[in-house]
A and B are shown apart, each in its own frame.
Chain A
Amino acid sequence: MSRLELPAIDATRAGLVLFVASIAFLYSPIFIRPPSGTFVFLELAVLFLLYALILIGLNLQFGHTGLVNFGPVAFFAVGGYAAAILTANDPYRAVGLGFAWPVGLVAGVLAAVALGVLLGFSTLKLRDDFLAIVTLAVAEIIHGLTITFRDITGGSIGLQNVPRPIADMTGGGGGAELFATIVVLGSVCLLAYGVFHRLSASPYGRVLRAIRADEQVTETLGKRVFRYKLVVFIYGAAIGGLAGALLVFYNGAASASFFTIDVTVIVWIGMLIGGAGSDRGVLGGLALIMGFQLLTRFFNDLLPFVTQDQFASIRLVLVGLLLMLVVKYRPEGIWGTAEELEVES
């Protein structure tokens, strides 16, 4: 169980090919309309793919380099709002500049990168735990700002009329859009996984793991530790921003409720359950935790006397229990390597 065995195809190449194919699929008149009973799964799959993007960045930051980023949702939110504000047409009580969606996509990534540069430069030279505190705080501040500055962000009502490029390019309505979204996001995700895995599996990744193990030794062996930490932090920020932009282009809206601390919690738990530092394992962990949430949702339907709110808290307790079990009996995570994470199992 120490390794999640998948066929030995190169994810980067496969991702590229699939991405091109998915764009061709979008431009073609063909569409696939899945049965409506599957929508609940497909919607969750979209969310999984977006969270997976954030997690791919987080795993490079924490799993490989040891950077404790407790605010991945901050980059997700900044990417999402930047994309939404730049592209929305006539949003209800918010700012919408009406640019074409590619402008918003690029802006979303750049805005998240800018935040990454700012936080990276100001904290990565300080003691390790500063990053954890600062990222956690910044994520909460950003969440607060999106609610307070409602003339710009639409507050808790959100920012409507954001373009939905994938839906617009897909004929056939509802389910077909969902299917096309999954095809496109799936290929983007595979490509991102492939690229980040190439980074982590190369001499580059060796430097990152050395930094995680002992920064000072790594520095005295000739590596520019701060540069690596900064760049890795920015890569994570960029992919988080990309995920945020993709989310608003899928939803056609941005709202503070998409960008809560729950996102941070889910990707962190997915990473720890799957095994930090295992590129495939963390995605397996995310799938497990999101599958678990879906499962409990069905249970909720079976128990009509429990309200949704009550059930949400029960679910949180169950997720906490699951994490405790893993930490106790398999601290390296299901697919992680104990020796690499310095835990006794």
Chain B
Amino acid sequence: MTLLAVDSLHRSFGSLVAVDDVSFEIEPGEVVGMIGPNGAGKTTTFNCVSGVLDSDAGTVTFDGEDVTNVPAYELARNGLVRTFQQTRELSTMTVEANVLLPTPAHPGERAWHAITRSEASQQREREAREQAMELLDVFDIRSKADEYAGTLSGGQRKLLELARALMLDPTMLMLDEPFAGVNPTLTTELVAHLESLNDDGLTLLIIEHELETLTDLVDRLIVLTDGRVLASGTPAEVTSNEEVIDAYLGN
């Protein structure tokens, strides 16, 4: 069954049509890249799908349920998690707190449990901490656990964001330019992480500018220009498509 289905999505800002009738589908376990020139509407598409922005028209179906304009927190809880184009680490909190924050179904986030320091809350916090430490280990930033996230390097912030998103145990991750501003060594490392996550069943939708990084990683590419889907298919199909070459790759 299709995991994510976006059907005729529209979104305008005043007279500017940022997303103009975008439709695509993503199957469970796929790795799909979304490419397109600056201002093509990639981020806006993400925002509408993830509930950060309301769409003007169209439907989004995730895991068999209509989730059109469902609040962002609900989508995140239901397994559709996204990251932002600019790294958005919570710089005033420690690295550990950043990763602990998304912990789902945490009783300690309810006032009564917090005030009474309930056993359920402490138990959940212990489990969450264990999971967080494992993730920090995997992404090689465990030594930074007690530092403020604001002190991390650009690349480490990207890793932190990924670790943080994984705390939600997502079915599908939507990453907005995860390799932007990341050095080649770390990019290779990130790609390896993503591939291994995909091997474990995680579905990925990745926005990217650099086509080279994506062609090896993805099963399929969706090309956006001027808010419309210009082409879609395997990297080989897309890169040989005349229209795509004219509109995007040509320059």
Chain A: residues with CB nearer than 8 A to chain B?
Answer: 12, 195, 198-199, 202-207, 209-210, 212-214, 216-225, 231, 235, 339-342
Contact = CB atoms under 8 A, between A and B. Distances in A.
Contacts of B121: 202-203
Nearest to A12: B115
Contact of A202 (B50, B108, B164, B168): B108
Contacts, number: 107
Interface in B67-121: 71-73, 76-77, 81-82, 84, 88, 90-93, 97, 100-104, 106, 108-111, 113-115, 117, 121
B245 to A, nearest CB: 35
A218 to B, nearest CB: 7
A342 B150 CA distance: 9
Q: Which of A12, A198, A213, A224 has the most CB of B within 10 A?
A: A213
Q: Which of B93, B124, B125 has the most CB of A within 10 A?
A: B93
A204 B90 contact: no
Contacts of A12: 115
Given A198-B114, A218-B101, A342-B92, A203 B50 contact: no
Interface of B: 50-52, 71-73, 76-77, 81-82, 84, 88, 90-93, 97, 100-104, 106, 108-111, 113-115, 117, 121, 124-125, 148, 150, 164-165, 167-168
Contacts of A224: 71, 73
B104 A222 contact: yes
A221 B114 contact: no
Given A221-B164, A222-B77, A206 B97 contact: yes
22 contacts: A12-B115, A198-B114, A198-B115, A198-B117, A199-B114, A202-B121, A203-B124, A203-B125, A204-B113, A204-B114, A206-B101, A209-B90, A209-B97, A218-B90, A218-B101, A219-B72, A219-B73, A220-B51, A221-B73, A223-B109, A339-B91, A340-B93
A305 to B, nearest CB: 50
A213 B91 CA distance: 7
B81 A220 contact: yes
A221 B168 contact: yes
A276 B96 CA distance: 22
B70 to A, nearest CB: 12
Contact of A339 (B52, B150, B164, B167): B150
A319 B145 CA distance: 40
A218 B50 CA distance: 13
Contacts of B101: 206-207, 210, 218, 221, 223
Q: Which 3 A-B pairs have the closest CB atoms?
A: A203-B108, A202-B114, A204-B114
Nearest to B97: A206
Given A202-B117, A203-B108, A221-B167, 15 more contacts: A195-B115, A198-B117, A199-B114, A199-B115, A202-B108, A203-B121, A209-B90, A219-B72, A220-B52, A220-B81, A220-B82, A221-B102, A222-B104, A224-B73, A342-B150
A204 B110 contact: yes
A340 B91 CA distance: 8
B150 A222 contact: no
B92 A213 contact: yes
